[in-house]
Amino acid sequence: MGALRRRLAFAAIEALVPSPARRALEVSRRFSHDALSSFSERLDPNLRRQAAVTALPQTKRHKAFDDGRFIGLALEGTGAGRWEEKGGDFCRPVRHPKGEILSYPHQRAMISGVGTGLTLPLDGEPYGPGDSEDNAGRRLLRRAVGNLGRRFAD
């Protein structure tokens, strides 16, 4: 979900570069992925979460899920990048059998609203060392049910 939003935001910002308004906006000619990543890291996750939580019930109200018999919530564990150096509290070291640290991936549980032919990302919950995908998934499911209501999904 974050990667898609970043790509769309990056494309929108990049579209300003050839614009005649570029000089007035003081936009440089080139953008790096690091700049966009840095911007994304500073966004409040609660605002992004609330936008997704509002979009899913609206989609249901507009009958986008009507082709299917049921609406469900799907939980999945995933990785969100891999670094050679520890970059934060959610980095989980991957070790060589000899104990040497190979990399630091970020892992998270994700939840999506699903119906026949339609899957919409809803939320994500990172988990770091000492935590597990199962615990993150449980926190995520509790938050999703609290935000959407117990009767949203079948």
Mean pLDDT of 141-147: 91
Phi, psi dihedrals of residue 48, rounded to the nearest 5°: -65, -40
pLDDT digits (tens, 9 = 90+) for 2-33: 555 555 565 665 565 566 655 555 555 555 66
- Report whether pLDDT(149) > 60: yes
Residue 44's pLDDT is 74
pTM for the full predicted model? 0.64
Residue 137's pLDDT is 93
C-beta of residue 93 within 8 angstroms of C-beta of residue 129: yes
What's the CA gap between 106 and 2, in Å, rounded? Answer: 13
**For the chain, what percent of residues have pLDDT higher than 90?**
10
Mean pLDDT of 52-80: 82
Cα torsion 131, 105, 138, 145: sign: positive
Q: Per-residue confidence at 34, pLDDT binned at 50, 70, 90? A: low
pLDDT digits (tens, 9 = 90+) for 110-122: 998 888 678 888 8
